[in-house]
Chains A and B, each alone.
Chain A
Amino acid sequence: MSIKVYVPRDSSALSLGANQVAMAILVEAARRGASIDIVRNGSRGMFWLETLVEVATLDGRIAYGPVQPQDVHGLFESNFLYGGEHHLRLGLTEDLPFLKNQERLTFARVGITDPVSLVDYVAYDGYRGLKRALGMDGAGVVKQVTDSGLRGRGGAAFPTGIKWNTVLNTGAAQKYIVCNADEGDSGTYSDRMIMEGDPFVLIEGMTIAGIAVGATQGYIYLRSEYPHAYQVLKEAIAVATASNYLGQNILGSGKTFHLEVRRGAGAYVCGEETSLLESLEGKRGIVRFKPPLPAIQGLFGQPTIINNVISLASVPIILDRGGVFYRDYGMGRSRGTLPIQLAGNLKHCGLVEKAFGVTLRELLYDYGGGSASGRPIRAVQVGGPLGSYLPESQFDTPLDYEAFSSIWAVLGHGGIVAFDDTVDMAHMARYAMEFCAIESCGKCTPCRIGSTRGVEVMDKIIKGQDHAANIQLLRDLSDTMLNASLCALGGMTPYPVLSALNHFPQDFGLQKTQQAA
């Protein structure tokens, strides 16, 4: 029997040479006449170890990493196909400390299965949620989601069950399920990992949503920067359709759900739900006024569930194990688990799925291993380019929507970007304004003009020109953007700007103690 060797097809693994490693293993195996079966799995999410090669042995899967193509010859010499000793041998994958203490619910299969194998998916508890959902009425399905306490994982943290209930109770001939896969926040990649590593879980979640509220058409709006995810999703949708998990009369239930992937085109603002809907309709991604809510008048004016990838991918396990099972994880009003993404200047960047309540410090040091550069971590941005910068004094904050909100920060999509002490926070504040100016859709003045004026004011502050007046101007401008912008792009750009100013005043030419009012 051939030996199973796992080499990830995840974009990040590919970016470090996974294809070359897979090729080298194939060539070397052929040369030696070894019978192997290479499975291109998703990533386990330990990116400092990519390319992480795993071999299935009688004791379990043994990991080797980080493997370079030139290591392959030595691995064969060390008999790695049978778990042989080698300096890259890490031991049993599931015993690695980074993975062992995680609580992987949404990511249960990522890195373990072949992403486009429906057989693997079903063997690892896939489609159990859908089968249970097919035995319930719409209200019953929505109740499970409501009971789970799941809140929108895209960043807004709106209760998913309430959104679904609105669509359920809004009558219309056509309803839609839209997946927001426009993962544009720097420091976030969990959507990509799910789509590349376990696409069926997203497809199943969307199918359950469709069946629950009576929507027969779904769209995944995927950012154009993710070509590999696009291929995997298309492949998985074709497989699911061929096996009657999508299409008409799903599994003989009489229910219909069609799914299509649509590509975005490099506009950050299209991650905002109404702008995304405009884009799906074939227009410029201009933000809509709310109300009407998308749940009542969304895509093409019809009731629409629009949820983030992780929200939808969390639905199958909620339906399978029950809302209460999921709700038992977490703290306060933040229920369940959050796939956290460690990024930037950290030694061990990767994906950590944990129940809410883990602290930033645990993530940065216990999981992240401290900075990659070896210098002190000075600032951390949580929640993407619209998230606040946190100084070391706030590292004990637990990951919880309300705890973050109380320190004027956000969890967002769970991305954590660490900076060492070489960072210039005035520069980062200027960048936040510049990014907003580049990506503004242009509909509302505070965002469109405010961001450009913000860059100019920051330039003056950095030059020390009319300093006190310009600091005040920056605060006034931020106040206008915060309170008068139409969506979160203009409305939250002041988070990184003002948090940088408040926590790192010395970088803005102020005394450390001087908190310019």
Chain B
Amino acid sequence: MTLPDPARIAVERIITDNKDKQGALLPILHGIQDSIGHIPPEAVSVIADELNLSRAEVHGVVSFYHHFRQSPPGRHTIQICQAESCQAMGGSKLTKHAKECLGIDFHETTADQEFSLEPVYCLGNCACSPAVMVDDEVYGRVTDDGLEQLLSQVRKGQQ
């Protein structure tokens, strides 16, 4: 299987830009995920060839890190903090509410491909727990109602 052209061109460009760096693999994987949303399996062998690694080594790195995805996410990724500080402020209840609102569990994507839901262990927003991250924006002291409003704003593209 080969990648569709735009993705293939992006992958090749990112590899070319980064391959001479020391420890180039993580910067390359970040570049690919930032650009096309996930690390397609087809990219793994291309990266392996270019960095003179085995496919197993590249796959091992992709699968080790929670941040890297092997399948496309929804249009927006919602991360809800599960760590202690957020638990102390009702994070578990908020998580349950989010799952009910979206009708999905962690690591799943809604049927309309709008939202992917992921757990996260600390966003560094512990002074404003519970914390939620939508794409690259963090939100603090999120209530059940606040989360619903946020989801509806994101859906309307008003984030």
Contact = CB atoms under 8 A, between A and B. Distances in A.
A349 interface: yes
14 contacts: A12-B125, A12-B127, A14-B137, A16-B141, A187-B84, A227-B136, A263-B27, A265-B65, A279-B26, A281-B22, A283-B61, A300-B22, A420-B88, A423-B88
Given A189-B124, A344-B88, A11 B23 contact: no
B84 A385 contact: yes
Interface in B52-93: 57, 60-61, 64-68, 81, 83-89
B121 A435 contact: yes
Interface residues of A, number: 59
Contacts of B104: none
B122 interface: yes
A266 B66 contact: yes
A431 B84 CA distance: 9
A262 B138 contact: no
B111 interface: no
Interface in A181-240: 183-189, 191-192, 224-228
Contact of B124 (A188, A265, A280, A423): A188
Contacts of B94: none
A268 interface: yes
B131 interface: yes
Contacts of A227: 136
Interface stretch (A89-97, A411-419, A453-461): A411-419
A224 B67 contact: yes
Nearest to A418: B88
Nearest to B136: A227
Given A11-B124, A14-B138, A282 B24 contact: yes
Contacts of A463: none
B7 interface: no
Contacts of B68: 265
A63 to B, nearest CB: 17
Contact of A186 (B26, B29, B126): B126
Given A282-B51, A349-B126, 17 more contacts: A12-B124, A15-B128, A16-B128, A47-B140, A184-B122, A187-B84, A189-B124, A191-B124, A262-B23, A265-B30, A267-B66, A284-B65, A344-B126, A344-B129, A415-B85, A428-B84, A439-B121
Given A263-B30, A283-B25, A47 B66 contact: no
Given A14-B137, A14-B138, A15-B139, A344 B121 contact: no
B27 A262 contact: yes
Interface residues of B, number: 43
Contacts of B138: 11-12, 14-15, 228
B85 A187 contact: yes
B131 A284 contact: no
Nearest to B138: A15
B83 A349 contact: no
Contacts of B22: 281, 300
A11 to B, nearest CB: 5
B133 interface: yes
Per CB-CB distance, the 6 closest pairs between chain A and chain B, nearest first, are A186-B83, A282-B25, A265-B65, A266-B67, A343-B126, A349-B127
A280 B65 CA distance: 13
